[in-house]
Amino acid sequence: MLLDFNNLNINNLSFHTDFGQKIIFFLKEWFSESDTVEVQTSGSTGTPKIFEIEKRKMLNSAVMTCNFLGLKEGDKALICLPVEYISGKMMVVRSIERKLKLVVAEPSLKPVEFLNEEIDFCAMTPLQVENSLDKLHLIKNLIIGGAAVSESLKHKISGNLKLSPSNRIFETYGMSETLSHIALKEIVPKPEDYFTIFENVSISVDDRGCLKISAPNLNAEVLQTNDLVEIKGEKQFKFLGRIDNVINSGGAKIFPETLEALVKKEIPNEAVFVGIKDESLGQKLILIIEGKESEDISAKISGLPFEKSFHKPKEIIFMEEIPRTPNGKVNRLELERKINEYL
């Protein structure tokens, strides 16, 4: 199904799938007299919430992304993300703002397996990209969000022989409160370590080293995150990890996301570091690996060049399936609960 936003009559739209019906419902909500629409948070760091967002600010966000990527009227985009969340809604809003032609693909692990012609723009989760590597060369501008892009996936993307210099793939940084993303980091053709923020966005850190975002076109308030970052200049920052995920083991602060990036350079499995209560250390560092138990994987991890001796996990646990939120993010709270029950 193709929606041409240069010539669209929502009253004539007809979808026979549940996803298509949700898109029609959102379009009717968008073109209603209300100044706001409802958006659901992912629940990756707590209980999912529903809140109202001004349409005007969503349009501002759409302009930022479209301008950064150089999208123009008549370009073809593809939506394959749930429209309950800001990620899916913003794909529709970008198409409205820039008058794009929007291909509708059912959200799935292989959303572009049907694709046989080039498109100009698409947004996917890392898991969707993992299962779409043979089609990435057909997407001129791809943004990846919803969860961190693992080192192993970055390696698969950069080593994709079908990709050309005209293919641009980015990792995103953002949240529901910033109306999707406010910064992008290039994976190909030139891999970057730092996110670059959009126009009309400024950043700083608090006394904990956590990122503060000022984006008046998106949110009237200065957004205080719990993301530890390293700022470079006025427009770039490196994500180090979430402060509420920091593990305090024997008085040392450990950033699990940093260690996970190291591990994922060597193994294809999902890997998550957690801290469990320990009488002597306060928290004991445990590594959870998704998949069947493997001596080969355990040996690779044991041989990794961890910067500090206390970065090496005290125990490795293999789990058949790591719990995730509905939009694919690792649910650390649920994982820690399961591990505490297991131990």
Query: Which of 24-38, 65-79, 131-145, 237-251 bottoms out in mean pLDDT, i.e. has the lowest?
Result: 237-251
Nearest to 239 by CA among 307, 175, 294: 175
**pLDDT tens digits, one per residue of 244-269:** 889 989 888 898 998 998 898 888 88
What CA dihedral angle connects 106, 111, 113 and 116, to 10 degrees?
80
Report residue 44's pLDDT band, with 50, 70 and 90 as the boundaries: low
pLDDT of residue 328: 67
Judge whether residue 43 has pLDDT over 60.
Answer: no
Q: Look up tokens 């992912």; give the residue.
A: 42
Buried b (16+ CB within 10 A) or exposed e, 274-309: bbbeeeebebbbbbbbbbeeeeebeeebeeeeeeee
Rounded distance between C-alpha atoms, residue 208 and residue 132, angstroms: 39
Whether residue 254 contacts residue 273, with contact meaning beta carbons closer than 8 Å, is answered with yes
pLDDT of residue 51: 82
Q: What is the DSSP letter of 324?
A: B
pLDDT score of 68: 96
Q: Who contacts 341 (Cβ-Cβ below 8 Å, separation ≥6)? A: none
Q: Which of 110-119, 209-218, 322-331 has the lowest mean pLDDT?
A: 322-331
Which of 134-148, 201-215, 250-264 shows the lowest per-residue confidence on average (mean pLDDT)? 250-264
Task: Categorize the per-residue pLDDT at 176 as very low, low, confident or very high, splitting at 50, 70 and 90.
Answer: confident
Task: Name which CATH class applies to 2-242.
Answer: alpha beta
Asked if the model's pLDDT at residue 48 lies above 70, the reply is no
CA angle 128-167-126, nearest 5°?
20
Q: Are 45 and 64 in contact (CB under 8 A)?
A: no
Our CA dihedral for 148, 231, 212, 258, rounded to 10 degrees, sits at 30
pLDDT > 70 in the chain, percent: 97
Q: For residue 189, is the peptide bond before it cis, meaning its omega torsion is within 30 degrees of 0? A: yes
For residues 100-136, one letter each, b for 16 or more C-beta atoms within 10 angstroms of the residue's C-beta and e for the rest, the string is bbbbbbebeeebbeebeeebbbbbbbbbbbbbbeebb
Residue 263: Cβ-neighbour burial (10 angstroms; 0-12, 13-18, 19+):
buried
Q: What is the pLDDT of residue 25?
A: 93
**Start and end residues for every CATH 3.40.50.12780 domain found in the chain:** 2-242
pLDDT at 46: 53
Q: Is 12 left (phi over 0), alpha (psi -120 to 50) or beta?
A: alpha
Contacts of 275 (CB under 8 A, 6+ apart): 247, 248, 249, 254, 256, 283, 284, 285, 286
Task: Give ∠ CA 125-20-183 in degrees, rounded to 5.
Answer: 30
- Tally of CB atoms within 10 A around 69: 20
Q: With beta carbons less than 8 A apart as the criterion, state whether 74 and 106 touch.
A: no
Query: CA 143 to CA 169: how far, in whole Å?
Result: 6
Mean pLDDT of the chain: 91
Q: 246-342 belongs to which homologous superfamily? A: ANL, C-terminal domain (3.30.300.30)
Q: With a threshold of 0.95, does the pTM exceed it?
A: no
How high is the pLDDT of residue 10? 85
| Range 269-280 average pLDDT | 90
